[in-house]
């Protein structure tokens, strides 16, 4: 039977009555013996529990791939390799202290896929008929579309139960503002792929909830990533798509180090419910929807955006919003123009 992580259950009636401590016999005043908790045994069990919890914590942390502020603000990225085989050899993690910890690591975290077992480059992959002629949009999941945590958060959008070593641990998920509108809009214009370095046991049920409209055509998880320089890299060549027609949106620069010219960076989402980066991202995606080669246009478009020369939906929305009940301000022509832009983005006014 599955136990929740915080359950703290141990078997045996005597142990239950002793609060989970080991028992030893002590003398009563009347000369008889009684079982009492053993402090020595308790210390041994506490140490074992601490080690076990440390292992579970490590396993939990590795289920979800997240980017820290330090990672995002890091300087130069390690250079991509000059060449590598279809299945690059994995790099083993640090020294393993015990067998159970090694088991955790091999299941969840640091041991990379073996050579040629999971990660494979391909020249051409299957395309659904409804996506023929569309550009491919590769979306990161964690901290790009959602933020997930093992700690309870106020009003989570989803709670995903994940099994770790026979225990069920809840993952609390917050959706990034406008993610539903964003997915609806890009689903009409692009072939949408979610490519995450997180584990499928967490990401797959999350996408079942997040993508009710079945916008996402393909789902790729950690085993599809390429381990490189201690990170999981999303090599777009494993998709079997024309890179001239492929865009990746990801908050982690390490993820697209092999094809930075295909990247549309986005800020990390944690819990800012005023965040509007998905709407700004949509502006840029629409700007390259019809170009011949996205790699020749993403850089200049990003430069114009950063220079403030490219009007964004966020700015239009902010400038056109009134103070009373969120009603649009301005004359009729401006209001009609904004309604048309809202419709273009698939966002209800």
**96-120, pLDDT tens digit by residue?**
333 433 333 322 333 344 333 455 5
Report the pLDDT value the prediction gives residue 304, as an integer from 0 to 100.
79
Report the pLDDT value the prediction gives residue 189, as an integer from 0 to 100.
97
137-148 burial, b at 16+ Cβ within 10 Å, e below that, comes to bbbbbbbbbbbb
DSSP one-letter code for 333: H
For the cut 90, the answer to whether the pLDDT of residue 303 exceeds it is: no
For the cut 80, the answer to whether the pLDDT of residue 234 exceeds it is: yes
Predicted confidence band of residue 273 (pLDDT cuts 50, 70, 90): very high
Q: What is the mean pLDDT of the chain?
A: 71
Considering only CA atoms, which of 205, 259, 198 is closest in space to residue 66?
A: 198
Cα dihedral: 13, 19, 20, 21 (round 10): -110
Q: Which residues belong to the active site? A: 140, 142
Q: Which two tokens stand for residue 333?
A: 């022509």
Q: Which of 86-95, 120-129, 335-344 is the least confident region?
A: 86-95
**pLDDT one-digit tens code per residue, 160-179:** 999 988 999 999 999 999 99
Report the pLDDT value the prediction gives residue 122, as an integer from 0 to 100.
61
Higher pLDDT, 346 or 3: 346
Q: How far apart are CA 20 and CA 8, in angstroms?
A: 9
Predicted confidence band of residue 307 (pLDDT cuts 50, 70, 90): confident
Higher pLDDT, 19 or 9: 19
Ordered by where they begin, the domains of the chain are 61-68+80-293 (3.40.50.1000)
Q: Which two tokens stand for residue 116?
A: 């040629």
Higher pLDDT, 334 or 269: 269
Mean pLDDT throughout 292-302? 92
Phi, psi of 240 (to 5 degrees): 70, 35
pTM of the model: 0.64
Q: Three-state SS string across 7-76, please?
A: CCCCCCHHHHHCCCCCEEEEECCCCCEEEEECHHHHHHHHHHHHHHHHHHHHHHHHHCCCCCHHHHCCCC
Sign, Cα dihedral of 63, 156, 267, 177: positive
Mean pLDDT throughout 254-272? 96
For the cut 90, the answer to whether the pLDDT of residue 126 exceeds it is: no
């Amino acid at each position: 039977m599955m136990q929740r992580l915080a359950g703290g259950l141990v078997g045996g009636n005597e142990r239950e009555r002793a609060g989970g401590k080991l028992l030893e016999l002590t003398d009563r005043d009347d000369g008889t013996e009684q079982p009492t908790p053993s402090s020595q045994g308790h210390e041994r069990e506490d140490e074992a529990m601490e080690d076990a919890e440390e292992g579970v914590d490590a396993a939990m942390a590795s289920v979800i791939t997240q980017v820290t502020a330090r990672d995002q603000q890091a300087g130069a990225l390690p250079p991509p390799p000059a060449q590598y085989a279809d299945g690059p050899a994995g790099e083993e993690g640090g020294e393993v202290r015990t067998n159970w910890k090694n088991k955790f690591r091999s299941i969840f975290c640091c041991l990379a896929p073996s050579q040629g077992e999971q990660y494979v480059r391909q020249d051409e992959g299957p395309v659904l008929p409804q996506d023929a002629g569309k550009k491919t949009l590769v979306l990161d999941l964690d901290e790009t579309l959602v933020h997930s945590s093992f700690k309870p958060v106020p009003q989570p959008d989803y709670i995903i139960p994940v099994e770790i070593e026979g225990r069920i641990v809840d993952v609390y998920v917050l959706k990034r503002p406008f993610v539903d509108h964003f997915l609806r809009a890009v689903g009409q214009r692009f072939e949408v792929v979610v490519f995450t370095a997180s584990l499928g046991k967490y990401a797959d049920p999350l996408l079942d909830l997040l993508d009710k409209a079945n916008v996402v055509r393909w789902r790729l998880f950690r085993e599809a990533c390429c381990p490189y320089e201690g990170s999981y890299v999303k090599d777009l060549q494993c998709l079997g798509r024309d890179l001239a027609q492929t865009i990746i949106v990801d908050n982690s620069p390490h993820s697209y180090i092999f094809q930075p010219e295909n990247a549309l960076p986005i800020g990390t989402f944690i819990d800012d419910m005023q965040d509007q980066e998905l709407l700004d991202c949509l502006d840029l995606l629409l700007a390259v929807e019809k170009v011949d080669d996205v790699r020749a246009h993403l850089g200049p478009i990003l430069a114009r955006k950063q220079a403030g020369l490219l009007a964004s939906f966020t700015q239009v929305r902010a400038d056109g919003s009134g103070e009373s009940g969120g009603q649009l301000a301005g004359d009729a022509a401006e209001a009609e123009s904004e309604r048309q832009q809202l419709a273009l983005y698939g966002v209800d006014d």
